[in-house]
Amino acid sequence: MQLAEKSKSGLMKEIGELQNRLAELEKEKAEHQRIAKEKHRLLKRNQLMMRKALDGIVTVDLNGDILDANPAFCEMHKFSREELLKMNISDLQVDTLEFSRNQQDALNKTGLKYEVKHRDREGNILYLEASTAPVRFEGTMYFYTFFRDVTGQKKAVDRMRTYQQQLRSLASELTLAEERERHRIATQLHDRIGQGLAGIKMQLEIVAYNSGSEYGSDQLRHILNQLAALIRETRTLTFEVSPPVLYELGLKAALEWLCEKFEEKHSIEIRYRLQNLPREPETELNVFIFSAARELLLNVIKHAKAHKVRVTLEQEGDRIFLKIKDDGQGLKIPEPHSAPEGFGLFSIRERLNYLGGKFSIRSAPGQGTDIALSIPLSR
């Protein structure tokens, strides 16, 4: 009897344990179903987001094989989804090694933003902004990448740069044409008008010498004085239009002459120093450097309120440096593109850019201004 009771009791206990285990299994089953349902919901949501996204989205494995691509990516590259699923991402890239480099960077940084070039089905180049993130799912590593097509913007920027380069080229050609015309006018002033006036003066001097009338001599002397003043004015105008010294004696002598003229005319001390310039630059560079020096010295006279100016011309390696430093009131240098600068400085910058040169300026209120131009001897 006791044995039967014990057997019954043990059986009931086992049944209870089985019922508890069954209940736990039911809970686990329900939890698995909930998780599976949630996964399905998230998968559907992600699929919907991929389908509706304006950016191209692609999923690849560690080898770069394409596992999924949204409609925007397909349309961007002009391939169907089925075709893309048979391809490797490197098949689309202009630089076929770029995927492996970006893949490693993305792993190291847990994400990466970069620019990449792809080719579509027709061979057209696509400029893309990409964001790649590594994702581990169920023990497997994948890469999710979002692509934004910026081909239109890129081409617009390239066109703008081309136009800017063309404008700089035109500006440089215009400057040279202007200088050639100035030189022609200066030559005409000297050879025709200046020489003609000098010849007339000599003839009048002969007439005055041979004249017996004191009144006539006085009139002739008055005319001769006027002629002498006119000849001096013609010479001054000739040098201001285009100094012959630049073409006859070269840049070194022309800059020295320029400094002397500014010093004499504006009562300002100008020290000119020439360092290590073994040979004369080409005419185009000579014209530019002389014009830039004249423009910068004019700026000093107009704005700096300086007492002393130092002008240095030197060569270092394959570059020529023109430096102009004054002890004037200085200026507050604006942030790039924050305020327009004078046309003279703007023109110098643009011509420098065309020549492959560099422009630097250091200044502060009350501390003078230091400007340096670096120009390559050849482009």
pLDDT tens digits for range 149-172: 999 998 888 889 888 878 777 777
Reported as a single tens digit per residue, the pLDDT across 169-227 is: 777 777 777 777 877 887 777 777 778 888 887 887 777 777 665 545 677 778 888 88
Between 171 and 271, name the one with better pLDDT.
271
Cα–Cα distance between 203 and 193 in angstroms, integer? Answer: 15
- Determine whether 371 is exposed, middle or buried from the number of CB atoms within 10 Å of its CB (0-12, 13-18, 19+): buried
CB count within 10 Å of CB 147 equals: 24
pLDDT at residue number 190 = 73
Question: pLDDT-based confidence at 5, cuts 50/70/90?
Answer: low
**What φ, ψ does residue 65 adopt, rounded to 5°?**
-70, 135
pTM higher than 0.85 for the full model?
no
The pLDDT of residue 19 is 76
Percent of the chain exceeding pLDDT 90 equals 29
Does position 54 have pLDDT exceeding 90, yes or no?
A: no
Contacts 24+ apart (CB under 8 A), 73-79: 73/147, 76/120, 76/126, 76/147, 76/149, 77/118, 77/120, 77/121, 77/126, 78/120, 78/121, 78/122, 79/120, 79/121
Stretch 80-103: mean pLDDT, rounded?
A: 85
Q: Are 83 and 166 in contact (CB under 8 A)?
A: no
The mean per-residue pLDDT over the stretch 323-343 comes to 68
Residue 141 contacts residue 62 (beta carbons within 8 Å): yes
